[in-house]
Structure 1
Amino acid sequence: MKSRVIDRWINDYLSERRVSANSLIITVYGDLIAAHGGGVWLSDFIRLVEPLGLNERVVRTSVYRLVQDDWLVSEQVGRRSYYRLTPSGLRRADHASRRIYDVRCVEWDGRWQIVILPATLSVRLRDALRRELSWAGYGAVAPGVLVRPSSDSATLMEILDGTGTRDKVVPLDARSLDALTGLPLKDLARECWDLEAIGATYDEFIARFRPVLRTLSAARSLDPEQCFLVQTLLMHEFRRVLLHDPQLPAQMTPNKWSGALARNLCQSLYRLTYRLAQQHLLALCETPSGPLPPPSPDFYRRFGGLGDVAGDVADDVAGIAVAP
């Protein structure tokens, strides 16, 4: 049975927030469809996202733009259109997924990934690379110099290969010579990233979704379509916040930082909704070969594991409910 409280919350969200159709479609493809092979019939997709306020005209216009931006590719099968993620779209979705779903427990070792963009780099490649590096958490420490406090050189190499810039820029692996704490690092972080604005968006995220978690966790039963809608809006909002967050080590974050609480809230709400959200997706969408394939094994490793976590969710809800 559908919850009137959740219906009202969804309607309020869609009426109060300016939701980009392109961005919302990317969220649905990245969070749900990518795990099932990356493609669905366009007509099925239109039915799937209609309750999110996206009518057929808007969807058709948006997917056309996403094809131009190399996110999606279309195939005509008879009279029907089939849209799937391009290799570039899958790569971007994979990079975003790692940042969104992976549980990070590794202490920062003081290493930095640095990318220097020569003046000879074309404007087109420069813009494409800046966009990709920004999605991966890089900040500009100076004109043409982007940095990230991380030892993850594999992600950087994937981005350079994907944008065709591996032999056109100067990637460096550096290490801090100073102590790993102190004011200089925090000053640098404030110069490279707008941490105050990011922190404010985390606070807004918590205020918006904490009541939804309380309502759904107290419900006797959940509705598949509502679970799909809540999960989509949850991940749309969390992705929007998180992909502006460089996920800095503790030595560089402000003293009062709500990023961890926001992640715990997102994880708990995702665990409550994902099973029925999947059920709703599989009921509405197919491919030219028939039903969507089962989700990839990586899907079940999201947020540290999506197995039988009812007890964990209950504990998380209790903790989030009393958090400041």
Structure 2
Amino acid sequence: MPSDPYQDALAILTATATQRVWSVLVSVFGDLARLEGEGIDGPVLTALMAEAQIRPEATRVALHRLRNDDWITSTKSGRTSHHSLTPTGRRLSVAASGRIYSPPEAAAQGWQLVLLETPTSYSREQMEAHGFAPLAPRLYIGADTSDAPAGTLALPADAAPHWLGGQFEPKDLSQDYAALHEMLSALDALQLDASTLSPVQIGVLRSLIVHGWRRLVLKHPDLPREVYSDAWRGHDCRALVTGLLARLPRPTLGALHP
């Protein structure tokens, strides 16, 4: 029996059973209904999640959580529910979209070091919010386009020594990127053809690709490839995600309706 590229792709994307359903929903809405005025009707969302092999009861629980977290709002028209991002959910989704969807050529080209006056001048969380990762006590690394907080010493940097990446790359994140790269490479090898897929199938594949990528790329600063070790696959993953999403153009919300 000949293989079915769509089913093969779905098997690759759903092989990990540890996905948080609420997080998958954030990816679905962030990719398919991110803009103001956009939303997804209940039957369409049910079809999308069913294709992703997520049970209806799990989807209902996840929707309830996201409503409580002011991420999603739901309204009813007759017997049909309509779900959309709240202003908060939309703002956060739009803010993250630059990192998620920017192509490889838009990645940071330069980097800098920032020295704090004291180890407690700013917390790690505050520095990460500014786009910097810890390198040593009082010392952080970030893209040259990131704004250094007030009262810090910003030091423009040039050539990166080969050992630099190993000083700040989280080991678990590096391993996660290696696994994601293997998955994306397998998807790329399938040479998916959007013309042979339904809008719902395209929507599911896109959402799951974005989900796997989003959960990693938002955990670290945007830095040039040269500052990372050879084992870091983040930039290679970006190239694969960009290519896969281009091969699977985002369907219109109207096309998703049965």
Name the TM tier (shorter chain): 0.7 to 0.9
Residue 190 (structure 1) aligned with residue 190 (structure 2):
no
Write out aligned runs for 1:105-144 (5 A): 105-108=107-110, 110=112, 112=114, 130=125, 137-140=131-134
CA drift of 1:198 comes to 2.6
Secondary structure at the aligned position of 1:99 is classed as helix
Cross-structure match for 1:163: none
C-alpha distance in 1 between matches for 2:63 and 2:115? 34
C-alpha distance in 1 between matches for 2:146 and 2:236? 24
TM-score scaled by structure 2? 0.77
Cross-structure match for 2:25: 25
Deviates more, 1:220-229 or 1:241-250: 220-229
- Per-residue CA shift, 1:109-166, capped at 9, x if unaligned? 536598x9989xxxxxx9xx94x9757754356899987444344xx9xxxxxxxxxx
Cross-structure match for 1:176: 155
Cross-structure match for 2:8: 8
* Percent identity of paired positions between Structure 1 and Structure 2: 21
Name the amino acid aligned to 1:110.
Q
Cross-structure match for 1:282: 254
RMSD (Å), alpha carbons: 3.9
C-alpha distance in 1 between matches for 2:31 and 2:115? 27
Cross-structure match for 2:99: 99
CA drift of 1:210 comes to 1.7
Judged with a 3 Å threshold, the aligned counterparts in structure 2 of structure 1 residues 246 and 212 are, in CA distance, closer, same or farther, namely same
CA drift of 1:230 comes to 2.0
Cross-structure match for 1:216: 191
Secondary structure at the aligned position of 1:176 is classed as strand
Query: Is residue 14–residue 52 contact of structure 2 (8 Å, CA) maintained in 1?
Result: yes
C-alpha distance in 1 between matches for 2:134 and 2:212? 24
Query: Is residue 136–residue 243 contact of structure 1 (8 Å, CA) maintained in 2?
Result: no
Judged with a 3 Å threshold, the aligned counterparts in structure 2 of structure 1 residues 144 and 35 are, in CA distance, closer, same or farther, namely farther
CA drift of 1:190 comes to 2.6
CA drift of 1:63 comes to 1.0
C-alpha distance in 1 between matches for 2:35 and 2:115? 29
Name the amino acid aligned to 1:223.
L
Structure in which a larger fraction of residues adopt helix: 1
Query: Is residue 188–residue 244 contact of structure 2 (8 Å, CA) maintained in 1?
Result: yes
- Per-residue CA shift, 1:75-104, capped at 9, x if unaligned? 344554332212221121112111111242
CA drift of 1:25 comes to 0.3
Write out aligned runs for 1:122-271 (5 A): 130=125, 137-140=131-134, 148-153=142-147, 171=150, 174-176=153-155, 179-183=157-161, 186=164, 190-191=167-168, 193-194=169-170, 196-217=171-192, 221-224=195-198, 225-250=200-225, 252-271=227-246
Segments of structure 1 that go 5 or more residues without pairing to the other structure are 120-125, 157-169, 287-324
CA drift of 1:208 comes to 1.3
CA drift of 1:197 comes to 2.9
Judged with a 3 Å threshold, the aligned counterparts in structure 2 of structure 1 residues 216 and 149 are, in CA distance, closer, same or farther, namely closer
CA drift of 1:229 comes to 2.4
Secondary structure at the aligned position of 1:278 is classed as coil
TM-score scaled by structure 1? 0.63
Judged with a 3 Å threshold, the aligned counterparts in structure 2 of structure 1 residues 117 and 265 are, in CA distance, closer, same or farther, namely same
C-alpha distance in 2 between matches for 1:112 and 1:222? 50
Secondary structure at the aligned position of 2:248 is classed as helix
